[in-house]
Amino acid sequence: MVGLSEGEKHFIRGGIAQDLRADGRRRLQFRAMSVETGVIPQANGSARVRLGSTEVIASVKAELGKPSILHPDKGKVSIFVDCSPTAAPMFEGRGSEDLSAELSVALQRCLLGGKSGAGAAIDLSSLIVVDGKVCWDLYIDGLVVSSDGNLLDALAAAIKVALSDTGIPRVNVSLSAATDEEPEVDVSDDEFLQFDTSSVPVIVTLTKVGKHYIVDATSEEESQMSSAVSVSVNRHRQICGLTKRGGAGLDASVIFDMISVAKHVSQQFMSVLDSDIAAAEEAE
C-alpha cells in the first residue's frame, strides 16, 4: 500500500484532471523506457525492461517435451510471473501470490489466444518437432525486480522483447523404421531458429482516476484509481485480450471509448518498442 496524505491525493487527482501529472507527463504519455536483451545467458531468450522505476525481467526457456494427448499437433507454452520481495516488502512469503497469479492469468489470456489457437501470439503448432511425440515446451518467466506501477504493461513488453531475442535450437530427427519407437532427437548447439514475434501483442493499461484515464500509472496514481482496463492489441489493430481490474463498475460506452484510446496508444507504444528492440540487438 502506498501511504498518501489527503493533500497528496488531491494533488494527484487534480493534476490528472488538468492533464499535467505529478511527474510532468500528459495523461496518455508513457515514462521513459529502456530495453536490454540477452541479460540471462542460460535462457534461450531474455530481456530487461525499465519503465521509469518499474523494472521487470523476462526469460524464455525451451525444453523438449511430449505433446498432450488431446493436442498431439501442438507444443506447450506456460507463463509464470514472480514478484520478488526485493521489489516491495509486501511481496514476502505468500504476500505476492495473488498479484503473481493475477498477472500470470492476464498474460496467458493475452498471449495464448482462444482454445482453438486462433489469435494466439505464439503459434503452438510451430513448436511441434514430431507429431504426437516430441515438441518444444516454452517456459516464459517474468520477474518483477522493482515495482512502481504498471507491472502488466512492462511484463508484456519484456516478454515481447525476450521472444524476439529467443533462438530455438534446430533439431534433427532420425525416425526409426518402427514408428512406435521413440524418435532420436539431435539438438544442434550452434544453429538457432529465430522466433516469429510479429503477432505478439503489447498491453496498454488505462487507469481511471476521477473522470479521466491515464496510461502507465505509477503506484501512487494506481492507489487513486477506481478501475483499470488492460487491453492487448496486436500489429493488425485487433484486440486479443482484455482484463478489468478495480471494483467500480463502468458504463459500456466508457469501456468502448477506453478500448479505442488503448488501440491508438498501443500503436505508438509498439513502434517505440520496435525501435528499442532494434537498438538493443545492435548494442549486443
Partner 1 sequence: MSAAATTGTYSPAASAGEKRRERKEELRRHLAEDADWPRADGRSFHDCRPAFMQTGPTTAASGSAYAEFGKTKVIVSVFGPRESKKTMMYSDTGRLNCNVSYTTFATPIRGQGTDNKEYSAMLHKALEGAVMLHTFPKTTVDVFALVLESGGSDLPIIISCASLALADAGIMMYDLVTSVSVSCFGKNIIIDPTSDEEAWQDGSLMVAYMPARKEITQLTLTGEWSDGKITNAVELCMDACTKLCDILRERLKDASSLAE
- Does position 240 interact with partner 1 (CB under 8 A)? The reply is yes
Give SS3 for 17.
Answer: helix
Contact 263, 231 (CB under 8 A): yes
- Does position 7 interact with partner 1 (CB under 8 A)? The reply is no
- Does position 248 interact with partner 1 (CB under 8 A)? The reply is yes
- Does position 90 interact with partner 1 (CB under 8 A)? The reply is no
- Does position 105 interact with partner 1 (CB under 8 A)? The reply is yes
Query: 279 vs 58, 70, 167, 266, CA distance in Å?
Result: 18, 42, 18, 20
CA 36 to chain centre: 15
Give SS3 for 97.
Answer: helix
**Residue 67: Cβ-neighbour burial (10 angstroms; 0-12, 13-18, 19+):** buried
Contact 37, 281 (CB under 8 A): yes
Stretch that binds partner 1, among 128-136, 188-196, 242-250, 269-277 (CB under 8 A): 242-250
List the one residue from 8, 82, 102, 281 that touches partner 1 (CB under 8 A): 102
State the binding string over 59-88 for partner 1 (x if CB under 8 A, else -): ----------xx------------------
List the one residue from 22, 145, 185, 259 that touches partner 1 (CB under 8 A): 259
Q: β-strand 76-83 against 134-146: which pairing, if any?
A: parallel
- Does position 142 interact with partner 1 (CB under 8 A)? The reply is no
- Does position 178 interact with partner 1 (CB under 8 A)? The reply is no
- Does position 251 interact with partner 1 (CB under 8 A)? The reply is yes
The Cα–Cα gap between 226 and 212 comes to: 10
State the binding string over 145-174 for partner 1 (x if CB under 8 A, else -): ------------------------------
Q: Is the dihedral of CA 84, 90, 148, 271 positive or negative?
A: positive
The Cα–Cα gap between 114 and 226 comes to: 29
Beta bridge partners of residue 49, listed in sequence order: 35, 56
- Does position 101 interact with partner 1 (CB under 8 A)? The reply is yes
List the one residue from 147, 164, 207, 243 that touches partner 1 (CB under 8 A): 243
- Does position 234 interact with partner 1 (CB under 8 A)? The reply is yes
- Does position 115 interact with partner 1 (CB under 8 A)? The reply is yes
Q: Is the dihedral of CA 84, 85, 91, 95 positive or negative?
A: positive
Question: Is 14 or 132 the residue whose CB approaches partner 1 more closely?
Answer: 132
> Residue 241 carries which side chain, given as an amino acid letter?
G
**Residue 66: Cβ-neighbour burial (10 angstroms; 0-12, 13-18, 19+):** middle
- Does position 95 interact with partner 1 (CB under 8 A)? The reply is no
Least distance CB 244 / partner 1 (angstroms): 5
Q: Name the site residues for partner 1 (rule: CB under 8 A).
A: 69-70, 98, 101-102, 105, 109-110, 112-116, 118-119, 227, 229, 234, 238-245, 247-252, 255-256, 259-260, 263
